[in-house]
Chains A and B, each alone.
Chain A
């Protein structure tokens, strides 16, 4: 199993780098999809079946499509005035480096201190989908409801924003006709 994990990690890292460095935004989004899929593969390789499959359903099936839709709807697609924008971003790249350094430091400390923790024996059997489902419906029922409420509120908010624009346009058209 271990060489498979190394291979998947390599693919994930390479595609993550590609997602940040490619020039065409759609290519970046597609490279990000490969990253998501590679992560899902690592989860599956580690025996977290539910997590891996949910990763594919949510990130590849929904988030990636959303990303691509946003890209297509909000910009013209081709790299025209993108160069100037990129220069402007490049001037402030030290912010990005700083944040990356901080996040990296936190992760490094976490990884280092994880080695210091007392070793606990692995459970005899990995929790399956059934255990996750039961935990979600009993111990974590409340957080699940709260997350659901949050997502519903976000969705209604999105619908209202879209609706208001639509109504405003209709009103403006009426105004123009008068």
Chain B
């Protein structure tokens, strides 16, 4: 019974493909899976925008959208229709072809990253040996699309936004990838499916999620911070700093093309959160074995939802970083810490991954964190700032 619910989507797809002629089955499976992924995450995108606006409104003592549907929760449909019907404006001096391709060049790689994410037991489109490498290869091409959008608009603000975005994405790509190396070393595989299976409860009752290890805990937060920066989300939203460069690289886009940028940004955020779930939070596995009856895909989306809530919470509560703070943080703190975690993983693996590992590795990671943090802050003393006209 539980197994039937767990495998319901897999069996539905398999049953449907059984009716099709043999030669087109793999392609039909790919198209249907892609359609299901786009549908699910498209709906999630719409719901997340509403939830985000409501949550941030609550944090800022406002009401937020409350006109369309119950409690304003159908606002995303109205927004979607609006963006579809708005005029599509292309600047006269813009590079028309590149300007047209840029949103597609951003959206397609982001959608490709979903192919290797396991959403549940047996629920992965492509189980590649090099799944994680596929993810990073697809993600690597987004910077190019951002450049194309900023450059082709022939607008100084767009170009500035694109340069900011590329500098930021390149800097944070390093900790983003390096923080996952520990997981690959411990699992001994680049396949996302193997990585999730290795984190399952196994014979015991407690799951072996990678976040429950000293290095995994640190790597998880490194990965998450880098994911914030890759998604250009607050506090790393300099590329679209409204008060400085209007809106950044997608400034000259309107109507549906703007909606595509918006969607690509959210889909990218979902996919990096989903990768964080896969690598560190055990993917679709239950935290304890007696909760194993809950369907695996439900676990996955629960964890994804928790991370989404974290993304929204951080956006509502943190101020934007300065450019030098952004770069210092990536190169002087995150990169050394991510590199330092690699030998710690080796130590953890050698001493048997148990409580001995905790006693040995825990203080090392904590000491590295404190030391690097001190080095980053330097001799500056951080104290309560006083404002002349706004003292609280």
Pairwise interchain contact A61-B134, C-beta atoms closer than 8 A: no
The CB with the most chain B CB atoms within 10 A, among A54, A61, A62, A129, is that of A61
A56 at the interface (CB under 8 A from B): yes
Pairwise interchain contact B170-A54, C-beta atoms closer than 8 A: no
Chain A residues whose C-beta falls within 8 Å of the C-beta of B137 in the assembled complex:
40, 53-54, 56-57, 60-61
A16 at the interface (CB under 8 A from B): no
Pairwise interchain contact B129-A129, C-beta atoms closer than 8 A: yes
Pairwise interchain contact A53-B134, C-beta atoms closer than 8 A: yes
- The chain B residues found within 8 Å of chain A, CB to CB, are 95, 98, 128-130, 133-134, 136-138, 140-141, 143-144, 147-148, 151, 163, 166, 170, 173, 189-190
Q: Given contacts A26-B151, A56-B137, A57-B136, are A65 and B143 in contact (CB under 8 A)? A: yes
Pairwise interchain contact B136-A49, C-beta atoms closer than 8 A: no
Find A129's partner among B138, B166, B173, B190 (CB 8 Å cutoff). B190
Pairwise interchain contact B133-A50, C-beta atoms closer than 8 A: yes
Distance in angstroms from B64 CB to nearest chain A CB is 38
B-contacting residues, A27-55, CB 8 Å = 27, 30, 33, 37, 40, 49-50, 53-54
A96 at the interface (CB under 8 A from B): no
The CB with the most chain A CB atoms within 10 A, among B128, B134, B136, B141, is that of B141
Find B148's partner among A24, A30, A49, A129 (CB 8 Å cutoff). A30
Pairwise interchain contact B98-A30, C-beta atoms closer than 8 A: yes
Majority secondary structure, A binding face = helix
A128 at the interface (CB under 8 A from B): yes
State A68–B163 Cα separation when bound (angstroms): 11
Chain B residues whose C-beta falls within 8 Å of the C-beta of A27 in the assembled complex:
98
Chain B residues whose C-beta falls within 8 Å of the C-beta of A130 in the assembled complex:
129, 189
B-contacting residues, A57-74, CB 8 Å = 57, 60-62, 64-65, 68-69, 72
Pairwise interchain contact B128-A49, C-beta atoms closer than 8 A: yes
Contact with B along A72-115 (1 / 0, CB 8 A): 10000000000000000000000000000000000000000000
Given contacts A33-B144, A65-B143, list 9 more A-B pairs with CB under 8 A.
Answer: A24-B95, A50-B133, A54-B133, A56-B137, A56-B140, A64-B144, A65-B147, A65-B170, A129-B133
State A22–B113 Cα separation when bound (angstroms): 31
State A129–B191 Cα separation when bound (angstroms): 10
The CB with the most chain B CB atoms within 10 A, among A26, A27, A53, is that of A53
Chain A residues whose C-beta falls within 8 Å of the C-beta of B166 in the assembled complex:
65, 69
Pairwise interchain contact B170-A50, C-beta atoms closer than 8 A: no
State A54–B137 Cα separation when bound (angstroms): 7
Find B133's partner among A24, A33, A53, A62 (CB 8 Å cutoff). A53
Chain A residues whose C-beta falls within 8 Å of the C-beta of B190 in the assembled complex:
129
Q: Given contacts A30-B98, A61-B140, A61-B141, are A68 and B147 in contact (CB under 8 A)? A: yes
Pairwise interchain contact B130-A129, C-beta atoms closer than 8 A: yes
Chain A residues whose C-beta falls within 8 Å of the C-beta of B134 in the assembled complex:
53
Pairwise interchain contact B144-A53, C-beta atoms closer than 8 A: no
Chain A residues whose C-beta falls within 8 Å of the C-beta of B130 in the assembled complex:
49-50, 53, 129
Of the A-B pairs whose beta carbons lie under 8 Å apart in the complex, a sample of 9, sorted by A's number, is: A30-B98, A30-B144, A56-B140, A60-B141, A60-B144, A61-B173, A65-B144, A68-B144, A129-B129
Write the chain B residue with the least CB distance to A50.
B130
The CB with the most chain A CB atoms within 10 A, among B98, B128, B133, is that of B133
Chain A residues whose C-beta falls within 8 Å of the C-beta of B95 in the assembled complex:
24
Write the chain B residue with the least CB distance to A27.
B98
Distance in angstroms from B24 CB to nearest chain A CB is 15
Cβ-closest 8 pairs across A and B? A61-B140, A56-B137, A53-B137, A53-B133, A129-B130, A129-B129, A57-B137, A128-B129
State A128–B190 Cα separation when bound (angstroms): 11
Write the chain B residue with the least CB distance to A56.
B137
Distance in angstroms from A129 CB to nearest chain B CB is 5
Distance in angstroms from A7 CB to nearest chain B CB is 15
